Structure 1
Amino acid sequence: MKMKRVLAGLLITALAGTMLVGCGTKEKEVFKIGVNQFVTHAALDASYEGFVDALKEAGYIDGENIKIDFQNAQGDQPTANTIATKLVNGNNDLILAIATPSAQAVANATKDIPILITAVTDPAGSGLVESNEDPKGNVSGTSDLTPVKQQIELITKLVPDAKKIAVLYSSSESNSVIQAELAMYAATELGLEAEAATVANSNDIQQVVQSLVGKVDAIYAPTDNTIASGMPTVAMIANQNNLPVICGEEGMVDAGGLATYGINYYKLGYLTGQQAVKIIKGEATTDQMPIEYLADEEYELKINNEVAEQIGIEIPEELVSK
């Protein structure tokens, strides 16, 4: 009898040890992040890269303790809507939306899953949060509001004889409409005449830019996703006709624009990644997380010297020194 009790005790101990080993080796729960990027272009790609790097530096590695489901709508709003639904149904713990159209798609798809947005000009103005200072919902993130007035001022410095400019943007993107209004106001303040040059989609770009040749002295293109992805077409026509294009961000300058004074999208994405880390750790929630911006000192001047030489623009010494 005593022997049976000893054997039973040993069996229980062995089973308990097995259970403990099982618990100790059980794979840690993986935090799932869905990503809805509206289109492929340098600024949005850099935002995503910065986001992932911020997670990595905090110890969150895709395929290890987090799983990232990256989706790209390739500039198509219905596709962005479909992706949003897919990410919501995929039981993601957090969704990152890159650019305003994708942010609106995801925000319409769920009021429960935390959403972080980036590369969105005015989240409140686009109906994504109650206010940028106090979102009060499941959406927060970072804004890419650029120093529009300083960008328009670049035109007066690089093209001092300019009298009339065109503001080139997509009328279907609320973020671009907001920037266009700011640009028109800034142009008036600086003594420039400004006209709107809108496109409905990328197919309109060539015809609209061609129509500006000989009618305006420069083009201003804000951080518009349609124009950014179609920048090679804009540059091809504008540069052939010595028509300077001042851009909203540096990726557009790399694609053939003349210059910009704007934000670094990698840093913006990195800032969004830091917000994600706080959410993963349970240190913050979107409803109490204000929309964040890069500091003014992080704005960067970029000039495409090759384009300047091609179209006969002399860079002022005050800009060369920067």
Structure 2
Amino acid sequence: MTIASTLRLSLYGVALSAISTLGLIGCSNSSTDTAATTENSSAADAEKPAKSIAITQIVEHPSLDDMRRGIIDELADNGYVEGQNLTVNFQSAQGNTATAGQIAKQFAGDNPDAIVAISTPSAQSIVAATTTIPIIYTAVSDPLGAKLINEDGKPFQSNLTGLSSQLPLEPQLDLLQQIKPEMKTIGYVYSPGEANSVSLRDSLKQALPARDLTLLDIPANRPTDIGMATRSLQGRADIIYTSFDNNVASAFEAMTQAANELKLPIVASDEFSVKRGAAAALGVNDYDFGRTTGKMVYRVLNGEAINNIEPAVMNDLTLYISPKHAKTQGVSLPAELLKNGINVDEQAQSTDNK
């Protein structure tokens, strides 16, 4: 299977069309063309009852932040505007699972209309704190392993739904081999405290022998350990793979600095990692992921019972590349990737020229 054939892959055929039919409702986009348009928009907003949501994520980094922005924008486009008829309480756990638990208890006591948990650790903490307040999880790559859903795809609690990104592994491995055809060992730096990262490690160990490849997995308990863990791959790995690990994401510059020194290409699973130093990534668009999550949140705020909103999977894959970062890490990207990928170097240059 080539990367070109997997760029727009959908794993489950999830009925996101039912979600996406929630178009712009109750709120016209602000316009300076006429006073009447502005008045109509304000009137539409006023029709929506005041609501409150609480949002938490395990740590702040560009990928999760862009998802959160997508959620807020989607709600605003549907008539729930922060600071007008929507109160948003956002708290980051700063990478600390104990803090995530404290935030969860506080949110449960605040009793908002809905809680949005961005990342696996945050979702697990929120689920443990309340069985009554509607919870929408997002940025969770393995909801089954995280004990958010059962094997039938149903939530463990009636107040729970969400959007996950269980990326198919085989296209990721295809990408790794296209970038480094002669590779034998994949380096994987991960947080042993994140269920999604442990699950991916186990999946890699199962999948790699069929390709005559091995995995060198290096645990890193804290963001401050990422640089040292990456340097420990020197002479032992041929390429680095990382996917949705929040410790890695929060200290990604430390990983890229070490990888650049060691001439080890990094392949990730999100756009921002490529912008921050990875050679390539095959993954979802973070902002779009947030917008789709926001549609779920809107349905809850609009009065729909959360147990009528089924958990969904979003796996529309996009290839992101950085020939510049690849060169720094000792490889040249093949022609197929250059043809089919979104070049973040060109995006950055276009932005700089504006």
- Measure the CA separation in 1 of the matches of 2:231 and 2:329: 16
- Aligned pair 1:188/2:209, yes or no? yes
Q: In structure 2, what residue type is equivalent to 1:38?
A: I
Cα distance, 1:131–1:140 mapped onto 2, change above 3 Å: farther
Aligned to 1:313: 331
Aligned match for 1:250, one of 264, 267, 271: 271
Distance 1:35 1:184 in 2: 34
Contact 1:123–1:132 under 8 Å retained in 2: no
Residue of structure 2 in register with 1:144 after alignment: 165
In the alignment, is the contact (CA less than 8 A) between 1:180 and 1:222 conserved in 2?
no
CA–CA distance in 2 between the matches of 1:255 and 1:319? Answer: 19
Residues 33-112 of structure 1: matches in 2 within 5 Å? 33-112=53-132
Q: Which amino acid is the alignment partner of residue 75 of structure 1?
A: G
CA distance in 1, matches of 2:218, 2:277: 19
Q: 2:183 aligns with which of 162, 172, 178?
A: 162
Deviation at 1:29, TM superposition (A): 4.6
Q: Among 219, 227, 252, which residue is 1:231 paired with?
A: 252
Q: CA contact under 8 A between 2:323 and 2:332: conserved in structure 1?
A: no
Segments ≥4 residues shifted beyond 4 Å: 26-29
Measured after TM superposition, the shift of residue 186 of structure 1 is 2.9
Shift, 1:156, TM fit: 0.6
Of the three residues 231, 234, 252, the one matched with 1:210 is 231
Distance 2:209 2:271 in 1: 25
Give deviations 1:115-160, integer Å, cap 9, x for gaps: 0010011222211234563225111110022233211221110111
Change (3 A) 1:132 1:230: farther
| Structure 1 portions without partners, runs of 5+ | 1-25
Q: Which letter does structure 2 place at the counterpart of 1:209?
A: T
With the length of structure 2 as denominator, give the TM-score of the two structures: 0.79
What TM-score comes out, normalization by structure 1 length? Answer: 0.87
CA distance, structure 2, for counterparts of residue 208 and residue 316 of structure 1? 28
- Is residue 168–residue 222 contact of structure 1 (8 Å, CA) maintained in 2? no
CA distance in 2, matches of 1:141, 1:263: 16
Shift of 1:81: 1.1
Quote the residue 1:261 is aligned against: 282
One-letter amino acid matched to 1:48: R
**DSSP 3-state at the match of 2:232:** helix
Output aligned runs, 1:116-131, within 5 Å. Answer: 116-131=136-151
Task: Give the structure 2 partner of residue 32 of structure 1.
Answer: 52
- Contact 1:152–1:186 (8 Å) recurs in 2: no
Q: Which residue of 2 aligns with 1:6?
A: none
Question: Match of 1:321, as an amino acid?
Answer: K
Structure of greater Rg: 1
Aligned-pair CA distance for 1:27: 10
Shift of 1:188: 2.2
Retained in 2: the 8 A contact 1:94–1:116? yes
Per the TM alignment, residue 281 of structure 1 is displaced from its structure 2 partner at its CA by 1.5
Q: Is the 8 A contact 1:152 1:183 kept in 2?
A: no
Q: Aligned-pair distance for 1:73? A: 1.0
Distance in 2, Cα, partners of 1:216 & 1:276: 42
Secondary structure (helix, strand or coil) at the match of 1:212 reads coil
Contact 2:231 2:262 in 1 (8 A): no
Q: Are the equivalent residues in 1 in contact too, given 2:48–2:79 (CA < 8 A)?
A: no
**Which SS does the other structure have where 1:243 is aligned?**
coil
| SS of corresponding position for 1:321 | helix
- Find the counterpart in structure 1 of residue 302 from structure 2: 281
* Alignment RMSD (CA, Å): 1.8
Q: Could you tell me how far apart the structure 2 residues matched to 1:310 and 1:41 are?
A: 23
Aligned equivalent of 2:135 = 115
Shift of residue 210, structure 1, vs aligned partner = 1.2
Unaligned runs of 5+ in 2: 1-45, 341-354
Higher mean C-alpha displacement, 124-133 vs 169-178? 124-133
| Overall identity of the aligned pairs, in % | 34
Q: 1:150 to 1:124 in 2, by over 3 A?
A: same
